[in-house]
Structure 1
Amino acid sequence: MARDSRPEGQYTDKLRVPEALTFDDVLLRPKESRVEPDEADVSTRVSTNVELNVPVLSAAMDTVTEGELAVEMARQGGLGVLHRNMDLDEVVSEVEYVKRADELIIRDVVTASPDQTVREVDAMMENAGVSGAPVVDEDDEVLGIISGTDIRPYLEVGDADEVREAMTDEVITATEGVTAREALELMYEHKIERVPIVDDEDRLTGLVTMQKILQRREYGNAARDDDGSLLCGVAVGPFETDRAVAVDDAGADVLFIDCAHAHNLNVIDGARDIKESVEADVVVGNIGTAEAAEDIVGFADGLKVGIGPGSICTTRVVSGSGMPQITAVAQVADVAADHDVPVIADGGIRYSGDAIKAIAAGADAVMLGSYFAGTDEAPGRVITIEGKKYKQYRGMGSVGAMQSGDGDRYLKDEPDEEDEYVPEGVEAAKPYKGSLEGELHQLVGGMQSGMGYVGAETIPEFKERSEFVRVSSAGQQESHAHDVMITDEAPNYSPGE
């Protein structure tokens, strides 16, 4: 085509670009309020059918969320999302670990036979880490119960005697419908610490223990399913239908289609196939535009937003593509709200103020990685640098994570040589922070403060009532501690974040 025949403005029109904003570009406009921060209700939906008491998820990263952290997230009211860099057996085992952690009725019960010796049962209970066991016959009918107090020390029976001689044969049992309160009343009335659960024929189906009941009481704000088990999220690839079905069968509550660019027609087709194959809710991401939301919202139970905002993500500088997070969330939320589909803001959150800004932009919940990477429960290894403790943290687009199996998250084939990887993330370290409970307390407390300043008691009311103001670079500087030397750091603020 001759130069003069080109349409006028073919390239210069691209320079008339829309503005896009991120967290530091805006502040919430304070409003008249009667809401005390501690009274703000932060419960929310994370997907069509799953509700949380805290609007926070931990990222599906191999240095952030495995079973231990997922359990603690759910106990605190949020949701942990298990990462993809585990083989199928491992991830199924981790899902089962989370679902069993706070179950009222223990299903995998350690049992004893009346014909075993006291010595054998004593060793068996010690290896299993339990202090008592129901005694059952070959048909699982409950005959009695034996505990450490029955056999230590061996006063009336020898360690070579049979269990039938040492067990308590007057057993207090309950049926499947027993509640925690009813079981606790039985335990207090009969001065026992465990109650076998039996069917109509007195066959053992489970066990309730005092320890489990007290544990449930301790975590009264936990995120649980209808059966009382802790909620669990799992990341799966868009083309991993078999993996999705396996973790769904294991009890996962929400599956997260884990892809760096979900507005890809092949990814959408794969996500739709997974949605049709499982009972769990399916959240699709990551996306960053209204157009992507429109193409996905018709079948997804939730949308996850974030193209390159993470602290260890280099997608924007490597690929030149991305969307500043406040604008990305707002665009997706405009579409999702019309379909009543929740939105999760994933990445870029350094402070609790960023998290509540994401909610104001239209998100229903936020997902964080680096914020939790330094906690005790995160799986990253502890390292020491110049006398200070840190925990390993890496992006799922880093070379290390790609080598461990997550390269297809970025829709790339695994190369033959290490130097042929094209990473979109780095490996780093986060200062050691202590317990996840403490970090989450500071995060949620800050979010509640934001709701108080706006005068909103609930997340939906906050989203409706909140307004943004633009902030200049001078305003950004003014927002931070300035013109001072900090001598005592606050638990929820570090100027280097």
Structure 2
Amino acid sequence: MTEIEIGKGKRGRRAYSLDDIAIVPSRRTRDPREVSTSWQIDAYHFDLPVMAAPMDSLMSPATAIAFGKLGGLPVLDLEGLWTRYEEPEKQLAQIATCSPDEATARMREIYSEPIKPELITARLKEIRDAGVTVAGALTPQRTQEHWRTVVAAGVDLFVIRGTTVSAEHVSGASEPLNLKRFIYELDVPVIVGGAGTYTAALHLMRTGAAGVLVGFGGGAAHTTRRTLGIHAPMATAISDVAAARRDYLDESGGRYVHVIADGGVGTSGDIVKAVACGADAVMLGAALARAEEAPGRGFHWGPEAHHSQLPRGERVEVGTVGSLEQILDGPGQSAEGTTNIMGALKRAMATTGYSDLKEFQRVELVVAPYQRS
């Protein structure tokens, strides 16, 4: 890709966000009722190419069960309020009702409560007993401490998720998590990320991960670009990681690693374009925090918002637009792309003539920056 001169001493690649691109219709169209949005990772099949982000504002055991029964893959935050408090409704109400100036400090206090291993077991059991695929997430920093509890609880998919996760973490203070050895010794599939570049993703694929989360600080509740100056525009990041998947498929002799867009995917149009760039599925946060059933009560936040040393996120008000079912399957309540998001994906695939997600990854794209008024 052509580099652009930033100044006489620095050059950089031009990168594109999802707002910068659009899909192009082809010569063929289809009936949306004949389009499939299903996908499979390892032995687990899902009707919807959507993972629910492991965030307390949208995922409780109850909403995880509801989301799983609707055809998606719910992921519970195993470092969140549901593994720190027996009944966290009081704490969730405090986060939702405190003023913007108080939110970060109050969340820090609430999340200072220690994680209780017995609650990890209880929450995962609750989801499993409902007959839903069980997925739980830990950060790389907490994986060493809690992974045995998670595996013993019968998790189906293990998610290691951070703002950025690398296959080669260097630390002189402590022994870092050896991802390759950890995944090799684990009996369950592992999804790991985020990654925002071809090289970082390729290294994660070589650890044996079943899926790679793509994104770095692009979500609605992130301020990573403002606080750290780091950002990975999603259209380019997904396309780069999809190229790593293709090359790793050849390198490994046929091992396919799933690419999951994570961050900056807030509307149905974003989902459409993420798949068009090469994503097998998307991980949604704010889009699902708008559900009537969401624990955040119209607010959304991630773990970066209550970091003890350097917050890189905030509590944001996203409002409520409908039930979880209406958000996923409709009927749509507005023309903003926040409800019936799977219906929109099917319509886009049908309009461009594709019948399944893998085919749709071949759709033509154009650079068409969106001009906001």
TM range (shorter): 0.7 to 0.9
Contact 2:299–2:319 (CA under 8 A) maintained in structure 1: no
Partner of 1:358: 274
Matched residues in 2 for 1:300 and 1:81: separation?
16
Partner of 2:135: 233
| Residue-by-residue CA offset, 1:195-236 (whole Å, 9 max, x unaligned) | xxxxxxxxxxxxxxxxxxxxxxxxxxxxxxxxxx31121101
Shift of 1:12: 4.8
Tell me which of 301, 313, 316 is aligned to 1:428: 316
Matched residues in 2 for 1:14 and 1:469: separation?
31
Change (3 A) 1:297 1:264: closer
Q: Is residue 255 of structure 1 aligned with residue 158 of structure 2? A: yes
Q: Any gaps of 5 or more consecutive residues in structure 1?
A: 1-10, 102-228, 383-390, 403-413, 415-420, 478-497
| Residue-by-residue CA offset, 1:339-388 (whole Å, 9 max, x unaligned) | 210010011112111101100101000011111112233222x3xxxxxx
SS of aligned partner of 1:312:
coil
TM-score calculated relative to the size of structure 1: 0.59
Partner of 2:87: none
Tell me which of 16, 19, 23 is aligned to 2:18: 23
Contact 1:57–1:73 (CA under 8 A) maintained in structure 2: no
| Residue-by-residue CA offset, 1:413-461 (whole Å, 9 max, x unaligned) | x5xxxxxx21100112221233211101101101111101211001111
Tell me which of 293, 299, 302 is aligned to 1:392: 299
Matched residues in 1 for 2:243 and 2:56: separation?
32
Partner of 1:367: 283
Aligned residues: 310
SS of aligned partner of 2:303:
coil
Partner of 2:124: 95
| Residue-by-residue CA offset, 1:371-415 (whole Å, 9 max, x unaligned) | 1112233222x3xxxxxxxx232122112xx3xxxxxxxxxxx5x
Amino acid at match of 1:341: V
Larger Rg: 1
Matched residues in 1 for 2:120 and 2:322: separation?
25
| Residue-by-residue CA offset, 1:241-266 (whole Å, 9 max, x unaligned) | 34222222222111111111112623
Tell me which of 187, 190, 208 is aligned to 1:279: 187
Contact 1:68–1:378 (CA under 8 A) maintained in structure 2: no
Tell me which of 29, 38, 43 is aligned to 2:33: 38
Contact 2:167–2:203 (CA under 8 A) maintained in structure 1: no
Contact 1:241–1:273 (CA under 8 A) maintained in structure 2: no
Change (3 A) 1:337 1:65: farther
User: How is 1:300-449 mapped onto 2 (pairs within 5 angstroms)?
Assistant: 300-338=209-247, 339=249, 340-380=256-296, 382=297, 391-399=298-306, 402=307, 414=308, 421-441=309-329, 442-449=340-347
TM-score calculated relative to the size of structure 2: 0.78
Contact 2:261–2:281 (CA under 8 A) maintained in structure 1: yes
Partner of 1:52: 46
| Residue-by-residue CA offset, 1:71-121 (whole Å, 9 max, x unaligned) | 1111011111101222322222111111111xxxxxxxxxxxxxxxxxxxx
Contact 2:29–2:351 (CA under 8 A) maintained in structure 1: no
Amino acid at match of 1:393: H
Q: Any gaps of 5 or more consecutive residues in structure 2?
A: 1-5, 84-114, 171-175, 250-255, 330-339
Matched residues in 2 for 1:349 and 1:361: separation?
13
Matched residues in 2 for 1:313 and 1:326: separation?
18
SS of aligned partner of 2:246:
helix
Tell me which of 54, 73, 78 is aligned to 2:72: 78
**Structure 1 runs of 4+ with >4 Å offset:** 11-14
SS of aligned partner of 1:266:
coil
Matched residues in 1 for 2:9 and 2:361: separation?
33
Partner of 1:245: 148
Matched residues in 2 for 1:296 and 1:264: separation?
5
Contact 1:57–1:79 (CA under 8 A) maintained in structure 2: yes
Matched residues in 1 for 2:74 and 2:61: separation?
8
Tell me which of 459, 470, 478 is aligned to 2:367: 470
Contact 1:329–1:363 (CA under 8 A) maintained in structure 2: yes
